[in-house]
């Protein structure tokens, strides 16, 4: 846990950070975001004492960092900056081994650890002997992360680590970074100027402007209740859409509005049940509840003998439980479906999600004032 | 073929001049490299980058001062002989060494230095493990050009009694014997080429693998 207590830092007359008090929970990612010059990077660099504040105190797990020698402190904190931070004259192995060597681990342990963290960032052993200039931007960034993790620090400071990476690779890196974090559960302070990155990666977001903390809360809370106009502008016009991207289909799946049948049930029998219940969809499940297909009454077709035809489909569109609402919405629009079945990883049907439920969510979040 | 006749008849003088020339070069360069890189390290300490910039301008401009002028000044204040000559050579060789070493160290990527600092490398570790290795190619090219200039300047230093191949050249000038001038200049050139070849090899050896 990291606590900023009334931190102030002045550069000349101007306060770069003004009376900042912030408490970051252990094992979570806190995103520091704001326009350039808002003090986010300065605040980050105070944690490993690259910058010392003029006033206030910073505690890690209750102990003031100013009681420690800066060098000792830094060796226990992982630090990742944009790709330029790798030592160009060190091989990947030596770059990663830097801190373990300063900690004087024995070579065997260092070697094991280097390969372990390389594996963690999904780079294979052949990378160990390469030099930074032989790597792509994304690979360099992975090595940077591996190097920061090498000595297994509890706290990780990341200063716009993905800033210099192209959008496609950035997305891949962000996803794999989240997966790594699920595994290692570090306390991470992450500086970014990209609101989408903040929403994507953060457990909590601290929004700063002109050295002051504007809002500090969970991502969904900030999206739902922006403190003021500044935060609204930072979030952008599409913040409701962004809020949807945090929500998962599983939380909106309902077990009504459809019937389930086993394979081999007579068409007419299904039609009768649907008509009795005034429904149009029947999902076909196997003995283990896995989605095998669906029947639906096609109301867009021409009536045959006064009734709409019933159609069988073997591979109905579906979403998984953890699909975000934005993704669910876009699949609905893409396939022209108002309802989609929600399935588990093993393809078991857990319910259906309705377009109306998503719309309701949008309305609850409140339409942007400008609209 | 007066050239070869002269060498054959005065082999002792030629050989001792070559040795003297080389010794003057070696001693003055040893001092210049030590003092020059040491000076650059002090100049480029973190937090004193402005001073480094000043030194860069000063040494940059000093490279335009002719060697004869430096030698003449040393003669005025210190006198003649081997010692004053070495002092003049050290001063003159310092300029390119300090210029290159300073600009080399200052041009190390600040991001790399900051990463090193953030990871907990001490000031000394940052200097020897990061800055010096990364600045090595630039430092070495300064040393190489200083060496070449130094060997040429040794011949000029003969005017204040340094000895070496310059003596043969000046005698040749006075006696109007072109073969002597040719011998002095030729051997100085050969020394310069040999030294540069050796230093080129050293440069490749000390340049870290990940660069280049």
* Chain B residue with the nearest C-alpha to that of A46: B118
List where CATH 3.40.50.300 sits in chain A: 2-245
In chain A, which among 102-121 make CB contacts under 8 A with chain B? 102
Contact flag A74-B208 (C-beta cutoff 8 Å): no
Q: Chain-wide mean pLDDT for chain B?
A: 91
* Chain A residue with the nearest C-alpha to that of B210: A89
Does residue A48 sit at the B interface (CB-CB below 8 Å)? yes
Helix (H, G, I), strand (E, B) or coil at A286: coil
Residues A316-338, mean pLDDT to the nearest whole number: 85
Report the alpha-carbon distance of residue B44 to residue B55 in Å, rounded.
Answer: 10
* Chain B residue with the nearest C-alpha to that of A92: B210
Does residue B60 sit at the A interface (CB-CB below 8 Å)? no
User: Which tens digit of pLDDT belongs to each residue from B159-175?
Assistant: 998 889 999 999 999 99
Supply the ipTM of this predicted assembly: 0.83
Does residue A73 sit at the B interface (CB-CB below 8 Å)? yes
Out of A50, A87, A88, name the one closest to residue B118 (CB): A50
Residues A264-283, mean pLDDT to the nearest whole number: 87
Q: What is the length of chain B?
A: 212
Question: pLDDT confidence of B212, banded at 50, 70, 90?
Answer: low
Residues of B within 8 A of A84 (CB-CB) are 109, 111-112, 115
Q: For residue A240, is pLDDT > 80?
A: no
Instruction: Mutation target for B interface from A48, A98, A128: give the one with most B CBs within 10 A.
Output: A98
Residues of B within 8 A of A45 (CB-CB) are 118
User: Which tens digit of pLDDT belongs to each residue from A329-345?
Assistant: 888 988 888 889 998 87
Where is pLDDT greater, at A247 or B1?
A247
Does residue B117 sit at the A interface (CB-CB below 8 Å)? yes
Q: Which residues of B109-128 are buried (b: 16+ CB within 10 A; e: fewer)?
A: eeebbbbbbbbbbbeebbbe
**Closest by CA position to A152, among listed A213, A76, A231, A225:** A76
Contact flag A89-B134 (C-beta cutoff 8 Å): yes
Geometric angle at alpha carbon A56, from A55 and A59, rounded to 5°:
145
Q: Write out the DSSP string of A31-99.
A: EEE-STTSSHHHHHHHHTTSS--SEEEEEETTEEGGGS-HHHHHHTEEEE-SGGGS-TTS-HHHHHHHH
Does residue B208 sit at the A interface (CB-CB below 8 Å)? yes
Residues of B within 8 A of A87 (CB-CB) are 112, 115-116, 130, 210
Burial of A336 (0-12, 13-18, 19+ CB in 10 A): exposed
Q: What is the length of chain A?
A: 371
Q: For residue B1, is pLDDT > 80?
A: no
Choice among A59-63, A109-113, B50-54, B135-139 with the minimum mean pLDDT: B50-54
Contact flag A102-B120 (C-beta cutoff 8 Å): yes
pLDDT of A118: 93
Q: Which CATH number fits domain A2-245: 3.40.980.10, 3.40.190.10, 3.30.1440.10, 3.40.50.300?
A: 3.40.50.300
Report the alpha-carbon distance of residue B127 to residue B117 in Å, rounded.
Answer: 11
| C-alpha to C-alpha distances, B130 to A60, A314, B99, B117, B138, nearest whole angstrom | 29, 63, 19, 10, 14
Tell how far CA B98 is from the center of its chain. 10
Side-chain-side CA neighbours of B132 within 13 Å: the count stands at: 13
Choice among A103-112, A180-189, A341-350, B147-156 with the minimum mean pLDDT: A341-350
Spatial contact of B99 and B37, defined as CB atoms under 8 Å apart: no
How large a percentage of chain B has pLDDT more than 70? Answer: 99
Residues B173-202, mean pLDDT to the nearest whole number: 94
Does residue A91 sit at the B interface (CB-CB below 8 Å)? yes
Does residue A132 sit at the B interface (CB-CB below 8 Å)? yes
Contact flag A89-B120 (C-beta cutoff 8 Å): no
Q: Write out the DSSP string of B89-151.
A: HHHHHHHHHHHHHHHHHHTS-HHHHHHHHHHT--HHHIIIIIIHHHHHHHHHHHHHHHHHHHH
How large a percentage of chain A has pLDDT more than 90? Answer: 47
Does residue A100 sit at the B interface (CB-CB below 8 Å)? no
Residues of A within 8 A of B113 (CB-CB) are none
User: Which tens digit of pLDDT belongs to each residue from A175-234?
Assistant: 788 888 888 999 999 999 888 889 888 999 999 999 999 999 998 889 888 889 999 888
Spatial contact of A370 and A364, defined as CB atoms under 8 Å apart: no
List where CATH 3.10.580.10 sits in chain A: 250-364
Residues B49-77, mean pLDDT to the nearest whole number: 87
Q: Which residues contact A163 (CB under 8 A, 6 or more apart)?
A: A82, A192, A193, A194
Q: Chain-wide mean pLDDT for chain A?
A: 88
Contact flag B116-A50 (C-beta cutoff 8 Å): no
Residues A28-45, mean pLDDT to the nearest whole number: 93
Structural tokens at position B58: 């000063």
Does residue A85 sit at the B interface (CB-CB below 8 Å)? yes
User: Which tens digit of pLDDT belongs to each residue from B74-125?
Assistant: 899 998 888 999 999 999 999 999 999 999 999 999 899 999 999 999 999 9
Out of B111, B114, B208, name the one closest to residue A89 (CB): B208
Q: For residue A7, is pLDDT > 90?
A: yes
Does residue A296 sit at the B interface (CB-CB below 8 Å)? no
Does residue A131 sit at the B interface (CB-CB below 8 Å)? yes
Report the alpha-carbon distance of residue A56 to residue A229 in Å, rounded.
Answer: 29
pLDDT of B85: 92
Instruction: Mutation target for A interface from B107, B113, B119: give the one with most A CBs within 10 A.
Output: B119
Out of B119, B209, B211, name the one closest to residue A74 (CB): B119
* Chain B residue with the nearest C-alpha to that of A82: B111
pLDDT of A369: 42
Rounded to a whole number, what is the distance in Å from the CA of A144 to chain B's nearest CA?
Answer: 10
Q: For residue A367, is pLDDT > 60?
A: no
Question: pLDDT confidence of A371, banded at 50, 70, 90?
Answer: very low
pLDDT of A366: 58
pLDDT of A368: 47
Contact flag A88-B210 (C-beta cutoff 8 Å): yes
* Chain A residue with the nearest C-alpha to that of B212: A89
CATH of domain A250-364: 3.10.580.10
Residues B43-57, mean pLDDT to the nearest whole number: 86
Report the alpha-carbon distance of residue A175 to residue A180 in Å, rounded.
Answer: 9
Where is pLDDT greater, at A184 or A324?
A184
pLDDT of B121: 95
Question: pLDDT confidence of A83, banded at 50, 70, 90?
Answer: low
Residues A125-144, mean pLDDT to the nearest whole number: 92
Does residue B47 sit at the A interface (CB-CB below 8 Å)? no
Report the alpha-carbon distance of residue B182 to residue B169 in Å, rounded.
Answer: 8
Question: pLDDT confidence of B47, banded at 50, 70, 90?
Answer: confident
Q: Write out the DSSP string of A170-238.
A: HHHHHHHHHHHHHHH--EEEEEES-HHHHHHH-SEEEEEETTEEEEEEEHHHHHHS-SSHHHHHHH-TT
**Closest by CA position to B91, among listed B148, B162, B153, B158:** B153
Does residue B111 sit at the A interface (CB-CB below 8 Å)? yes
Residues of B within 8 A of A91 (CB-CB) are 209-210
Choice among A160-169, A352-361, B7-16 with the minimum mean pLDDT: A160-169
Q: For residue A327, is pLDDT > 90?
A: no
Does residue B115 sit at the A interface (CB-CB below 8 Å)? yes
Q: Which residues contact A272 (CB under 8 A, 6 or more apart)?
A: none
């Amino acid at each position: 846990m990291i606590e900023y207590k009334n931190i102030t830092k002045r550069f000349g007359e101007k306060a770069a950070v003004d009376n900042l008090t912030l408490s970051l929970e252990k094992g979570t990612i806190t995103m520091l975001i704001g326009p350039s010059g808002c003090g986010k990077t300065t605040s980050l660099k105070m944690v490993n004492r690259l910058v010392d504040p003029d006033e206030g105190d910073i505690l890690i797990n209750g102990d003031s960092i100013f009681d420690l020698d800066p060098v000792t402190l830094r060796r226990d904190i992982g630090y990742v900056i944009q790709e330029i931070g790798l030592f160009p004259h060190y091989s990947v192995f030596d770059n990663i081994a830097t801190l373990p060597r300063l900690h004087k681990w024995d070579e065997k342990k260092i070697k094991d650890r280097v390969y372990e963290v390389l594996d963690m960032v999904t780079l294979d052993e052949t990378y160990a002997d390469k030099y930074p200039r032989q790597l792509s931007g994304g690979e360099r960034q992975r090595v940077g992360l591996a190097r920061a993790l090498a000595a297994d620090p509890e706290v990780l400071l990341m200063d716009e680590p993905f800033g210099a990476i192209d959008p496609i690779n950035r997305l891949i890196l962000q996803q794999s970074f989240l997966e790594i974090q699920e595994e290692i559960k570090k306390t991470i302070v992450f500086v970014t100027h990209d609101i989408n990155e903040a929403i994507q990666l953060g457990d909590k977001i601290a929004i700063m402007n002109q050295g002051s903390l504007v809002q500090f809360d969970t991502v969904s809370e900030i999206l739902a209740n922006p403190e003021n106009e500044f935060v609204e502008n930072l979030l952008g016009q599409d913040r409701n859409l962004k809020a949807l991207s945090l929500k998962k289909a599983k939380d909106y799946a309902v077990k009504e509005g459809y019937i389930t049948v086993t394979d081999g049930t007579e068409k007419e029998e299904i039609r009768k049940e649907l008509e009795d219940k005034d429904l149009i969809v029947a999902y076909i499940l196997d003995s283990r509840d896995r989605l095998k297909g669906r029947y639906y009454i096609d109301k867009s077709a021409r009536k045959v003998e006064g009734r709409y035809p019933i159609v069988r489909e073997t591979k109905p569109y579906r979403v998984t439980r953890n699909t975000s609402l934005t993704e669910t919405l876009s699949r609905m629009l893409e396939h022209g479906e108002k309802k989609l079945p929600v399935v588990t990883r093993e393809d078991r049907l857990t319910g259906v999600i309705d377009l109306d439920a998503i719309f309701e969510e949008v309305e609850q979040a409140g339409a942007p004032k400008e609209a | 073929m007066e050239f070869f006749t002269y060498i054959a008849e005065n082999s002792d003088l030629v050989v001792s001049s070559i040795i003297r020339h080389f010794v003057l070069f070696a001693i003055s360069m040893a001092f210049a490299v030590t003092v020059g890189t040491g000076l650059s390290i002090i100049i480029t300490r973190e937090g004193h980058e402005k001073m480094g910039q000043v030194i860069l301008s000063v040494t940059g401009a000093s490279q335009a001062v002719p060697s004869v002028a430096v030698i003449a000044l040393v003669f005025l204040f210190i006198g003649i002989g081997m010692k004053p000559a070495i002092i003049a050579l050290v001063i003159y060789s310092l300029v390119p060494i300090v210029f290159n070493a300073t600009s080399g160290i200052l041009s190390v990527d600040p991001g790399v230095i900051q990463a090193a600092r953030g990871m907990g490398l001490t000031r000394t570790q940052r200097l020897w493990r990061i800055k010096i290795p990364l600045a090595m190619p630039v430092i070495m090219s300064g040393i190489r050009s200083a060496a070449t200039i130094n060997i040429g300047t040794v011949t000029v230093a003969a005017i204040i009694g340094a000895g070496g191949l310059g003596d043969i050249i000046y005698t040749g000038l006075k006696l109007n014997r072109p073969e002597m001038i040719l011998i002095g200049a030729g051997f100085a050139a050969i020394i310069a080429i040999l030294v540069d070849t050796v230093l080129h090899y050293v440069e490749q050896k000390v340049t870290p693998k990940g660069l280049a």
